[in-house]
Structure 1
Amino acid sequence: MYKPSYGYFIILIFLALGVTACSLSDINTYNNEKTATAKVKQESTGQYPEKRINKAKNVVSADPEPLQNEDFEISYWSHKIDKKTDIKELIHKLGYGEGYDSSNRGYISGNGTYRRWNLSYPNYKDPEIRFVVLSKIELDGEELVDGESYLVGVSLENPKFKTKRGLKTGDTLGKVLQLYGQPSIITNGSLLYSNNGLHLSIQWDTKTEKVNNIFIKYNMEKSIKQQHSADYVDEDDQPNLDLEPYTTQEGQTFTTTLNGWGKVRFVSTLKDEETNDLIQAKFFLEVISKKYVEKKILYEFPEFYGNSGRMIDRIKAVSFKDVNQDGRTDIVIIADYITGVNAHGIETLPVAGIYFQKKDNTYTTLSELDKNINQTGHNRTLQNVIQYVRKQRINVQ
């Protein structure tokens, strides 16, 4: 009968140890995977907030490729849409969209020279996409028709349609930043990316931090210029020509009594976004009198300190007070300016400025004083500003 040698037993022992080691290795790997999976689940449920913060920072610090003209193109049912899109050809292929006639032929605004209107698909009641068009009105016999037309912009209103980089409605603000980086213009609810006269305007819900509209502007400046040159007036917004192109901030506009002026209306405004410049603050005095049917500007204040290279988000506070105690009414203003945007919305800081009333009742600013107020951090509240300035013994002639 064969008897196994000692060498045989030694080989068996090594084989057993190898199997055991492999089993332990598999168990450790399995346990590590479970731990990693559990950690991911914990992070996703907010148990590791510092990780989420770092993730948000990484999103904001993303450095995507610079915008090219191609980034403003989109595809709609295999049709390439860009600045040169032929409107008549588009209509020939897609028609006018259901409800065109009952929606006053897509009318938005216009006059006897131009008509601004939209093509909405698949219908006007619940559109997925809208094409805004400017047409010159022509006479065909006794009928007014659309003559030369061009695409002003396109609005994406359904997540089935994406930008060239893959952005769609419903995406997060974080994804916007990841795809496009920091915008050229930021407001509390919209971001604007621009390149070579093309603009990508992204509207987002400040509560949900998600995109609710994407509007690509192809010929916006051209259309505005043409309409204004034809004495264009939007019937929904009769502008105050003296204040154009500013938008009144009603919450910080007040009726007050000022030395030398009597009862007036102090008007806070922000420069219109459509100019695609920095959004800046401007202040006026308007007359209050039954004699004038239209608003009449009495006085335009000097440049606000907070405008210096900054994008103003809002006028935060206004106070009419004799700050330097010379018997005249000074005006203290605090605004919020935008420092950037992150995955959770815009970032702002306060900026303060003071208008001192002179002996002739006009107003002036002291740039060095304004600079000191803001550099020392005495710009958080109106009381902050006033207390700081009263210690400086300011004398204005």
Structure 2
Amino acid sequence: MVTIAKKNVTESGQSLVNDNYNEKRGKDMYRQGYGYLIIMLVMILALTACSSSSIHDFNSGETATTKVKQEDTGYYPDKKLDKAKNVVSADPKLLQDDDFEVSYRSHKIDKNTDIKELIRKWGYGEGYDNFNRGYVSGNGTYRRWSLSYPKYEDPEIDFVVLSKIELEGEELVDGESYLVAVSLENPKFKTKRGLKIGDTLSKVLQLYGQPSIVKNGNVIYSKDGQHLSINWDTKTEKVNNIFIEYNMEKSVKQQRSGDYVEEDAQPDPDLEPYTIQREQSFTTPLNGWGEVKFISTLKDEDMNDLIQAKFFLEVNSDKNVENKILYEFPEFYGNNGKMIDRIKAVSFKDLNQDGRTDIVIIADYITGVNAHGIETLPVAGIYFQRKDNTYTTLPKLDKNINQTGHNQTLQNVIQYVSKQRINVQ
């Protein structure tokens, strides 16, 4: 919604009358005053005409702005947009492979860039050894590291590389290597469409249109496994990093395959692809389970997929490391094609008076992005406990809760559900 502050144009005419005329010059003064009055009337009419024209022009601008908003696809629901009228390009070009290319030192960088060739040309960059040879993460099989130019302390550009670790004599060296991603760190480098660090979020939207994915502080444009991730500062509303991923999924899969994972081990939400949301994870007693840990998680942002919510019950004991996860909850209603921004609230309460503990969850999901950041709306879902102590959902009830707007707070949800007749076996 574009908010326009209309100008209030007011003109006030003021008549100055002098009642103390000199009788000897009365007629002359009268004629002179009459002449001034005529001049003032002409000026007022001219000002009124100009003001009317200004109002007309301004209203025409408002109409044009409204038209842009109406022709939009609902990407900015009920939020202020940028002060500029055309926040999103009316017809941004579809992404092409060369949109993921950048140029550095007259060398084209893309998904097929040969890392060894870059090193032969430019070396490892100043400070490579002092920064632990660019080490980011690794295991006994693979090493993820950064190749930064011209120096590591204040780089212009940073290449993320995955290398297979090989033994050369008695020394471990980087074997087969490939480019995972590139990070633009200096405003003198631009994307193919002309975006650079320091540009506004409005410009991002004008150049690229609607993003494929919106994450916390990032808009992402994707094509065939390549991702252009643009991070902005939420305070200044300016781009502060441009990150282009070429082979991220491949690198994550390879590096993870090199980690030691016990075949029969159940997944731990501390590991990818889930990240624990600790502020909405609790130790609580549950019927049939005793005191357990209720764990709220979101799919890891690095997976470049819709961020979805997942919930688990864990053993409430650090000593019992086997079968750490006791229970994985069914699919959360809010995941239904939505990108979850955060888990907002959790409540444990017997909602249908059957003596068992039900769980209410409210999350915020992303509806779009405007020139000032991401936009969210709440979505609620309920897990009802069965007689066998497992949990189930009632999708029709969840749908009604959200469609009627009883999803803003835990109290909204609980009051609405308390009026329904719910029987869970």
TM-score (norm 2): 0.77
Secondary structure, aligned partner of 1:223: helix
**1:228 CA displacement:** 1.5
- Alignment of 1:378 with 2:406, yes or no, is yes
Within-5 A mapping of 1:270-289: 270-289=298-317
How far apart are residue 58 of structure 1 and its match? 2.3
Contact 2:268/2:325 (CA < 8 Å) preserved in 1? no
Q: Kindly provide the CA deviation profile for residues 236-259 of structure 1, in whole angstroms up to 9, marking residues without a partner as x.
A: xxx936864111111111111111
Q: Distance in 2 between matches of 1:386 and 1:353?
A: 11
Deviations 1:164-183 (A, max 9, x none): 11111111111111111111
Q: Distance in 1 between matches of 2:308 and 2:85?
A: 28
CA distance in 2, matches of 1:373, 1:219: 41
Shift of 1:291: 3.0
Q: Distance in 2 between matches of 1:260 and 1:109?
A: 41
Structure 1 segment 1-397 matched on structure 2, within 5 A: 53=81, 55-56=83-84, 58-60=86-88, 62-231=90-259, 240=268, 244-293=272-321, 296-397=324-425
Q: C-alpha distance in 2, partners of 1:168/1:316?
A: 34
**Conservation of the 8 A alpha-carbon contact between 2:81 and 2:87:** no
Give the conservation status (yes or no) of the 8 Å contact 2:202–2:371: yes
Deviations 1:269-326 (A, max 9, x none): 1112333221111100001124314781011111111111111111111011111122
CA deviations 1:330-377 (Å, max 9, x no partner) are 100001111111111111111101111111111111111001001111
Q: Distance in 2 between matches of 1:274 and 1:232?
A: 21
Structure 2: how far apart are the matches of 1:320 and 1:329? 6
The 8 Å contact of residues 188 and 206 in structure 1, kept in 2 or not, is answered as no
User: How many aligned positions are there?
Assistant: 350
Amino acid at match of 2:177: S
SS in 2 for 1:70: helix
Deviation at 1:60, TM superposition (A): 3.0
- Local SS of the residue matching 2:86: helix
Q: Distance in 2 between the 1:120 and 1:61 partners?
A: 34
Root-mean-square deviation over aligned CA pairs: 2.5
Change (3 A) 1:208 1:100: same
Indicate how the Cα distance of structure 1 residues 286 and 345 shifts in structure 2: closer, same or farther if over 3 A, else same.
Answer: same
Report the Cα distance in structure 1 between the residues aligned to 2:314 and 2:229, rounded to whole angstroms: 33
Structure-1 separation of matches of 2:346 and 2:114? 50
Contact 1:257 1:263 (8 Å CA) reproduced: yes
Q: Deviations over 1:51-77 (max 9, x none)?
A: 995755621363310000000000112
Please tell me the residue identity of whatever aligns with 1:90.
L
Q: Distance in 2 between matches of 1:168 and 1:203?
A: 11
CA contact (8 A) 1:334 1:353 kept: yes
CA distance in 2, matches of 1:272, 1:53: 29
Between the aligned partners of 2:285 and 2:255, the Cα distance in structure 1 is 39
5+ residue gaps, structure 2, are 1-45, 62-68, 70-79, 262-266
Quick one: structure 1 residues 358 and 180, their matched pair in 2 at CA, closer, same or farther if it must change by over 3 Å?
same
User: In 1, Cα distance between the equivalents of 2:302 and 2:318?
Assistant: 33
Contact kept? 1:240, 1:295, Cα under 8 Å: no
For the residue of structure 1 that corresponds to 2:314, the secondary structure is strand
In structure 2, do the counterparts of structure 1 residues 81 and 379 end up closer, same or farther at CA, with 3 Å as the change threshold?
same
Does structure 2 conserve the Cα–Cα contact (< 8 Å) formed by 1:62 and 1:177?
Answer: no
Distance in 2 separating the partners of 1:124 and 1:232: 31
Which consecutive residues of structure 1, in runs of 5 or more, have no partner in the other structure?
A: 1-27, 44-50, 234-238
Cα deviation, residue 329, structure 1: 0.9
In structure 1, distance between residues paired with 2:356 and 2:218: 40
8 Å Cα contact 2:313/2:328 also seen in 1 = yes
How many angstroms apart in 2 are the aligned matches of 1:350 and 1:57?
28
Contact 1:242 1:297 in 2 (8 A): no
Secondary structure of the structure 2 residue equivalent to 1:60 = coil
Matched-pair contact (CA < 8 Å) for 2:298–2:309: yes
Secondary structure in 2 matching 1:168: coil
Given the two structures, how large is their TM-score scaled by the length of structure 1?
0.83
